[in-house]
Amino acid sequence: MSSLTRFRTLMWLEARRSWVWGVALIGSLAFWAWGMHQVSFVDPGEQLGVRAAILLVASGIGGLVLCLMIGRIRSETRHGQYQVLLLTPPSGYLHTLARFTFVGMVAVAYYITIGGLAWWAIAQAGLQLDAGSAAQLMLVCPLYGVGLAMLPALAWTLLLMVFVSSYRVSGPGWVPGTVMVLATPFLGSWISEGIWKVSYRLPSWRLFEGLRAAINTAAWEAEVEGFQGVFSLPQEPLWIMLAISAVMLAVAGRIWQEVEG
Amino acid sequence: MLANLTNVTKRYVRTEGIRDLTLQFPAGEVVGVLGLNGSGKSTMLKILAGLLMPSEGVAAVFDGPPRRNRARVVYLGETDALWTWMTPADAEKFMAGLYEDFDVARFRELLGSLEVPLRKTKAMSKGERGRLRLAMALARSARLYLLDEPLAGIDLLSREKILTSIVKEWHTDETILLSTHEVAEAEALFDRVIFLHKGRLALDARAEQLRSEGRSVVDAFREVLS
C-alpha cells in the first residue's frame, strides 16, 4: 500500500472529523462582513480604517480557532481515538503532515476570503485597484501572512500537543508543556532578531504598484501624503518561518512514533 | 515465537501496571488473560500492541519492538474508541485505506453475521459498537490478535455473537490474547490461561491440564485470585 493512499485516507479522516470546524470558521466571515457593512462614516478613510480593524480582529480570532482545530489531541486521547491512530501503520510524519495540511488548507481559504473582504472594503472607500494589485491583495498578501505567521503557529501547536501527550501516561504532561510555552517567547524574540538582520538581502517583492494611481484617481492625496504607493516585501522571513515550521513538524512526527496511549 | 515479554515492568506516574513479567506466546493458541480489575491485563496487552513502552525489560513482537511491528498486530482496546460520525461504510474506508491486510469482503460478511446496523456509531448501542469494532479487528489477516475486554458492558446476545465470531475466524497459525471478566462464557475458547494478580504472574497453565485435573478455568480463577 502506497504512502499516497494512506495520506489520502488520513486527509479524508481529517476532513470528516474537522469539516464542521472549517465550515463554521469560513462561515463566520459572513458575520464579520455583516459587521463591516454596518460601519458607516462620512470620511471614507475613517470607514476604511474601522473596517480594516474588524478584519484584523477576524484574522486574530481565526488564527486562534485554527490552532484549537489542529491541537484537539487531548479530547481524542480521552476518547481513545488517538490510541487508534497511534497504532495505524502510517508513520508519525504522515499523520502530522495530514493534520497540518488539512488545517493549513482551511487557513488559506479563510485568509484569502479575508483578502477578498479587504478588497471590497478598499473599493467601498473609493480606491479602484488595478487587476494586479487586487490579485496581490487577495492572494499574495494572505498567502504571505499564512506562511509567515499561521503555518508556524499551527506547527508549534501541533508540536506542543504531541509533546505533552507523549508524557501523559508515564509522567506529568504539564511539565514539558509549561517548559515549551515559557521557552517560546525567548525563542520567538531570538528568531525575530535574526530575521530582521537578514531581511532584504535577497530581492524583495514589490506589491501594489497600481495603488498610487488609484490614490490619485480617488483624490486621496492629502490623506496619504508621502506614500510612494509600493510595498516592498522581504522574502527571507517567509522562507525562514516555513523552514522552522518544517522542522517543528518533523520533530512532532518523530515524537508521535514514541507517544504512549 | 510471535511475542515475548522478558522481565517487563511498567510504571505509571503513581502506580505500577505490571512487574517483572516474563511470558512467551507461540503461534496457534487462544490465551485467556485473566485477573481482577487493576491486575495489569490491559497494561500487558498495550505493551504488546506497542501502545506503552516498558519501564524495564524487553517486549518483542515478531522479534522486534512492538510499535515497529504494529501493522502486523491487531489490537482491540478496551475503550469505545470510534468517532461518533463513523458509519460501518466509513469504518471500511478507514481500515481499507490504512491497513494492507484488511479484507473488505470479510468485513462485510462479519457486519452481516454480527448484525451490525449500517448507521452512525452515535446512534448505535454499546453492544452494536462493540460488534462493529470486533468486525474491524477480525477483518484483518494478522497473526497476533490482542483483544482487551471485547465483552465488557455488552449484552448476553452480543457477547455470544462476538465469541462465536472469534471462534469462527480463528486460524491455527494465529494467536489470540483475550482479556475478559466473562471467564465462564469464554472458558471454552482458551487453550491457555494466564492469571495476573497485582501486576504479577499468578498462574500460567494449559486449559486442558486444568480440565484433566477436574478443575474449570473458573475454579482456578477463584482459587488463584481469591
Closest by CA position to B91, among listed B126, B139, B127, B158? B139
Given this model, what pLDDT does residue A35 score?
Answer: 95
| A222, pLDDT greater than 60 | no
Nearest CA in chain A to B16: A170
| pLDDT score recorded for residue A226 | 60
Q: Is A20 on the interface with B (CB under 8 A)?
A: no
3-state secondary structure B127-176: HHHHHHHHHHHHCECCCEEEEECCCCCCCHHHHHHHHHHHHHHCCCCCEE
Helix (H) or strand (E) holding A205: strand A205-207
pLDDT confidence of residue A220: 64
| Residue B106 contacts A where some CB pair is shorter than 8 Å | no
The C-alpha of B195 sits at a distance from chain A's nearest C-alpha, in angstroms, of: 24
**Chain A residue with minimum CA distance to B46:** A261
Residue A72 distance to chain B (closest CA, Å): 13
Instruction: Check B85 against A16: CB less than 8 A apart.
Output: yes
Mutation target for B interface from A2, A84, A95: give the one with most B CBs within 10 A: A84
Contact between B18 and B9 under an 8 Å Cβ cutoff? The reply is yes
Nearest-Cα residue of chain B relative to residue A77: B81
Asked if A89 lies within 8 A of B81 by C-beta distance, the reply is: no
Best residue in A11, A87, A95, A254 for a mutation probing chain B (most B CBs within 10 Å)? A87
Residue among B15, B42, B98, B140 with most chain A CBs within 10 A, to mutate: B98
- What would the pLDDT profile of B109-167 be if each residue is shown by its tens digit? 999 988 899 999 999 998 899 899 989 999 999 999 999 988 887 788 888 888 888 88
CB contact under 8 A, A89 and B71: yes
Using an 8 Å CB-CB cutoff, list chain A residues near B81.
79-81, 83-84
Domain residue limits at B99:
3-225
Residue B58 has a CB neighbour count (10 Å cut-off) of 12
* Distance, first Cα to last Cα, chain B: 32
CATH number for the domain spanning B27: value is: 3.40.50.300
When mean pLDDT is compared across A133-137, A148-152, A205-209, B50-54, the lowest value belongs to A205-209
pLDDT band at residue B214 under the 50/70/90 scheme: confident
Share of chain B above pLDDT 90, in %: 64
Closest A-chain CA to B74: A87
The answer to whether the CB of B22 falls within 8 A of the CB of B7 is yes
Of residues A217 and A124, more confidently modeled? A124
Contacts of A171 in chain B (CB under 8 A): 13
* Nearest-5° Cα angle at B52, B62 to B41: 85
B98 to A90: CB separation less than 8 angstroms, yes or no: yes
Question: Chain B: nearest CA to A179, how far in angstroms?
Answer: 19
Residues B96-113: pLDDT tens digits?
999 999 999 999 999 998
> With contact defined as beta carbons under 8 Å apart, do A259 and A170 qualify?
no
Which range (A241-255, B26-40, B117-131, B164-178) has the least confidence? B164-178
Residue B23 has pLDDT above 70, yes or no: yes
Least CB–CB distance from B97: residue in A6, A81, A261: A6
Task: Round to whole Å and give the CA distance between B180 and B169.
Answer: 18
Residues β-bridged to residue B11: B16
Chain A (173-232) residues lying within 8 Å, Cβ to Cβ, of chain B? none
Q: Does B120 touch chain A (CB under 8 A)?
A: no
Give the residue extent of every domain in chain A: 3-256
CB interface of B with A, residues 44-63, below 8 Å: 46, 49-53, 55
Strand duo B175-179 + B30-35: pairing: parallel
pLDDT per residue as tens digits for the range B65-90 = 999 999 999 999 988 889 999 999 99
Question: Given this model, what pLDDT does residue A221 score?
Answer: 58
Give the total number of structural domains in chain B.
1
pLDDT number for residue A228:
64
CA distances in angstroms from A135 to A125, A129, A132, A142, A233, listed in the order given: 18, 9, 5, 10, 15
- Chain A within 8 Å of B83 (Cβ-Cβ)? yes
The pLDDT tens digits for A68-122 are: 999 988 888 888 899 999 999 999 999 999 999 999 999 999 999 999 999 999 9
